[in-house]
């Protein structure tokens, strides 16, 4: 079995070491420009077009992350880049769900207990007690109920919050009031106090966090975006903060990363920023999952995480 590997990240050596151990007997090589030698499997993160275009030998392309929007954008910009007979496979959880649940739980509790406002009072050296928001009316809406979103929604239920969830197709999650499809989208948004975005990034979801949709939330609502920066219309958020429609936002993802030093988000007092760390790809767990799926694929067994190219996830 011949395996191609590519990532622009600096930790490639560690990935190669662990993949070699998990795939004994595999002919594993790093793709370099001009390499068109045969390969059965590609393991990639943000690959260049030349790596994939024109290949008829690949059986599967394994993406080193849950989000496949970079590869799908490559296909949209250059139709025919993805080999027709190769399945595109994304990572499923590998420790990401727990990390995201921790991140979202922290953000929601911080806003419910008003710790963000206490930070500002501290800066002003003001000793003032604030009444916390009532938990029973502090409705959290989870936008996107895939593997990660469903886990986040369940964790919020366990914290005692009223939780809503929205997905493209109907889902049932114990303790979560679920909405599905375009006709139920406004009903999902209506009156939500904290909106948590976990949607996949597709052409249909681009800019979904816009002025119209933010206006449907409860006045003084909060936004937590841990999906993709392109989901958010940045100026619309700044306007909503200025108007008081949005009280504060926690952002982990941005249109341009790293976030430029001159960006207004850096100095905005009601925007909390983290550098795309809400769910890091855990190498050991990811390698185990990829190796197991490659083994199953070679045995002709079904595997999970296959991406529907048309739907984008």
Q: Evaluate whether 223 touches 195 at the Cβ level (below 8 Å).
A: yes
Instruction: Give the count of beta carbons closer than 10 Å to the beta carbon of residue 75.
Output: 17
Sequence-ordered strand ranges (E) for the chain: 2-6, 27-30, 41-44, 60-63, 87-89, 140-143, 163-167, 176-180, 194-197, 221-225, 246-251, 271-273
Which tokens hold the place of 12?
A: 């490639």
Q: Which residues contact 301 (CB under 8 A, 6 or more apart)?
A: none
Active site residue 228: yes
Instruction: Give the count of beta carbons closer than 10 Å to the beta carbon of residue 307.
Output: 19
The catalytically annotated residue of 17, 276, 283, 299 is 276
Which of 48, 28, 49 minimizes the C-alpha distance to 37? 28
Which tokens hold the place of 240?
A: 């909503």
Q: Evaluate whether 72 touches 312 at the Cβ level (below 8 Å).
A: yes
Q: Evaluate whether 200 touches 226 at the Cβ level (below 8 Å).
A: no
Which tokens hold the place of 136?
A: 């029973």
Looking only at the bridges linking them, the beta strands covering 271-273 and 246-251 are: parallel
Task: Tell me the helices (H) and strands (E) count for the chain, helix number first.
Answer: 10, 12
Q: Evaluate whether 13 touches 284 at the Cβ level (below 8 Å).
A: no
Instruction: Give the count of beta carbons closer than 10 Å to the beta carbon of residue 181.
Output: 12
Which helix (H) or strand (E) is 185 found in, with range?
helix 185-189
The catalytically annotated residue of 151, 164, 228, 231 is 228
Active site residue 268: no
What residues are labeled active site? 228, 276
């Amino acid at each position: 079995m011949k395996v191609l590997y590519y990532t622009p990240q600096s930790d490639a050596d560690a990935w190669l070491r662990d993949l070699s151990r998990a795939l004994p007997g595999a002919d594993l090589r790093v793709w370099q420009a001009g390499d068109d030698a045969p390969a059965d499997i590609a393991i990639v993160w943000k690959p260049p077009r030349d790596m994939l275009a024109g290949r008829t030998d690949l059986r599967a392309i394994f993406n080193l992350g849950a989000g496949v929007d970079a590869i799908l954008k490559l296909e949209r910009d250059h139709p025919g880049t993805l080999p027709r007979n190769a399945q595109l496979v994304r990572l499923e959880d590998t420790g990401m769900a727990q990390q995201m649940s921790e991140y979202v739980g922290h953000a929601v509790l911080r806003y419910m207990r008003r710790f963000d406002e206490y930070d500002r009072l501290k800066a002003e050296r003001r000793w003032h007690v604030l009444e916390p928001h009532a938990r029973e009316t502090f409705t959290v809406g989870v936008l996107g109920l895939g593997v990660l979103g469903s886990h986040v929604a369940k964790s919020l239920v366990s914290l005692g919050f009223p939780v809503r969830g929205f997905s493209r197709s109907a889902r049932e999650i114990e303790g979560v009031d679920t909405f599905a499809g375009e006709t139920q989208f406004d009903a999902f948004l209506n009156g939500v106090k904290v909106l948590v975005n976990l949607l996949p990034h597709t052409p249909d979801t681009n800019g979904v966090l816009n002025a119209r949709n933010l206006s449907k939330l409860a006045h003084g609502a909060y936004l937590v975006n841990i999906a993709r920066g392109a989901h958010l219309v940045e100026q619309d958020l700044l306007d909503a903060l200025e108007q008081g429609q949005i009280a504060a936002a926690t952002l982990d993802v941005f249109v341009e990363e790293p976030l430029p030093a001159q960006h207004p988000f850096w100095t905005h007092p009601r925007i909390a920023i983290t550098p795309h760390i809400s769910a890091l790809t855990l190498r050991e767990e990811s390698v185990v999952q990829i190796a197991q799926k490659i083994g199953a694929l070679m045995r002709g067994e079904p595997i999970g995480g296959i991406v529907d190219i048309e739907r984008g996830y």
